[in-house]
Amino acid sequence: MEKKELRIICPNGHLGFAPTKEESFWIGAATKPDYYCCDSGSDDIGPVPLGQDISTSHHEWQKHDLELMLVAAREQNVPMIIGSAGDTGSNSRVDMYIEFIRELAKKHNLKPFKLAYFYSEVDKSYIINKMEQGLVVEGLDGRAHLNMDDLEKTNRIVAVAGVHPFIKALEMGADVIIGGRSSDAAIFAAPAIYHGFPEDQAYYLGKVLECASFCAEPYAAKESVIGTITQNDVKVIAMSPYQRCTIASVAGHAMYERTNPYFEFFAGGMLDMTNCVYEQYDEKTTRVTGSKFVPIEGAVKVKLEGSGKVGERFIGIAGIRDPYTIKNIDKVIQWSRDQVKERFGETGYEVYYKIFGKNGVMGDLEPIKETKSHELCIIVEGIAQTVEAAEEITMIATRQIFYARLPEVKGTAGTAAFVIDEVLKATPAYIWTMDHIIPVDDPMELFEVKTIEIGN
């Protein structure tokens, strides 16, 4: 297991969200990295996919990216690691990825290999039991501690795994690992820690690699990068012929998420990058030293994400080109709101207006003092407990934009240019009900690693 350095390729900052660019991937694969690792999920996509248990990424794009990694990794006989399978890391998404791997192994007639996987979903009863014992489930980013009401509103919960289940899978001899919801950086830090590299460098390696080519310039997504870790530093190099990893691009990516010096929460600690030193190692490579992993004293804590359904949702679209209506759009929107209220009352529904083109930005009832826009697009969202109510609310809100009563309009002249005749059914509306951390006795408490044999 002892290595002087470890090289990990990351081909995509979110596997399947858009297809991996093949040229830079195969350039990187030709250098024979030690691991193929990729994050496949995020809470950036919002609470709908988790709540509804679906993927937001196209299935064929996900299979495309998995196929590239699987074929290259098996050809070189090195491990492949995926975390947060299928965008959310829910149990069904892990199962889906396992089936994708089966199909791809059969397609390419791959020799048998060991696949390890773990689930991340957490049953409400587990949390209820902990809370009834007096345990506090702390809120993150200003959220209140979890209460029973918010827990009751939650449809699905996933725990965010750290490095521990990935290391366990490697110890079990896994060739391919499919993980449930996982810390992005832990997917890359795990093999580094498994091979004996310091946590200080390992977690930074994960942080800089997790979004692939976002750490390079010029800006481009879905291009491959390779990170190399030693006992003393991390080096990151761009594989795309037109990109390079510079001091500015690598440092900028590492720090883009938060201004707090502790940028990332992991089970057991935080990553401190305030004392990092960045050096231009060669034209395409930046070397980084000085990162620090800071253990958290006391119980190990695992992050929980929960999504709860608010109601059914419809979308309406209105386009306006009349200068007078544009100038008075705040009055038009208020008229529309009032008509919805007249029919449905004050409560039991939600309606939102997203205005594109107003002062060059999107806003909701932001007064227009002066605008050069000649056209506005208004997206109306109506949410209610039933499909029928959501559809009617959205239809009223959208059409009443056309019927708004403005004092200078005579007859129908000069009113809104176009309003669609039908509204569109959207996915149901969900909200994040949980963004919390829960103490556990063991970092593996919520993650059981299992293995299966795949291949001919």
Say which range, 18-32, 183-197, 335-349, 411-425, has the weakest mean pLDDT.
411-425
pLDDT at 340 over 90: yes
Q: Which amino acid, one-letter code, is at 371?
A: T
Determine phi and psi for 376, rounding to 5 degrees.
Answer: -120, 145
Of 321 and 360, more confident: 321
pLDDT tens sequence across 132-154: 999 999 998 889 999 999 999 99
Strand 234-238 to 225-229 pairing: antiparallel
Region of 426 (left: φ > 0; alpha: ψ -120 to 50; beta: rest) is beta
Are 94 and 179 in contact by the 8 Å Cβ rule? The answer is yes
Say which range, 277-286, 335-344, 369-378, has the weakest mean pLDDT.
369-378
**Helix 186-194 × helix 164-171 angle, to 10°:** 40
What length does the chain have? 456
Enumerate the CATH 3.30.70 domain ranges in the chain, comma separated.
310-431
Of 363 and 214, more confident: 214
Residue among 360, 393, 396, 390 nearest 377 (CA): 360
Mean pLDDT (whole number) for 286-294: 93
Are 197 and 6 in contact by the 8 Å Cβ rule? The answer is yes
pLDDT at 366 over 60: no
Are 172 and 79 in contact by the 8 Å Cβ rule? The answer is no
pLDDT value of residue 414: 47
The CA-atom distances, in angstroms, between 56 and each of 50, 128, 170, 244, 428 are 10, 30, 29, 30, 14
pLDDT tens sequence across 57-113: 999 999 999 999 999 999 999 999 999 999 999 999 999 999 999 999 999 999 999
Are 171 and 164 in contact by the 8 Å Cβ rule? The answer is no
Show the tokens assigned to 289. 């030293």
CA 393 to chain centroid, in Å, comes to: 31
Are 43 and 88 in contact by the 8 Å Cβ rule? The answer is no
CA dist., res. 319 & res. 377, Å (int): 5
pLDDT value of residue 154: 97
Residue among 318, 346, 350 nearest 332 (CA): 318
CA dist., res. 192 & res. 229, Å (int): 7
Residue among 70, 57, 105, 53 nearest 177 (CA): 70
Are 424 and 379 in contact by the 8 Å Cβ rule? The answer is no
CA dist., res. 41 & res. 435, Å (int): 16
pLDDT at 259 over 70: no
pTM for the whole structure: 0.91
pLDDT value of residue 313: 97
Band of pLDDT at residue 418, cut at 50, 70 and 90: low
Band of pLDDT at residue 263, cut at 50, 70 and 90: very low
Question: Could you tell me where the DSSP H helices lie in 258-363?
Answer: 323-327, 329-344
Buried b / exposed e along 372-389 (16+ C-beta atoms within 10 A): ebeebebebbbbbeeeeb
Mean pLDDT (whole number) for 267-291: 90
The CATH class of 310-431 is alpha beta
**Helix 387-403 × helix 329-344 angle, to 10°:** 140
Show the tokens assigned to 159. 């725990």
Band of pLDDT at residue 261, cut at 50, 70 and 90: very low
pLDDT value of residue 362: 47
Show the tokens assigned to 10. 């990351």
pLDDT tens sequence across 227-249: 999 999 999 999 999 999 999 99
Is residue 372 helix, strand or coil?
A: coil
CA dist., res. 74 & res. 169, Å (int): 17
Band of pLDDT at residue 403, cut at 50, 70 and 90: confident
Strand 269-272 to 292-295 pairing: antiparallel
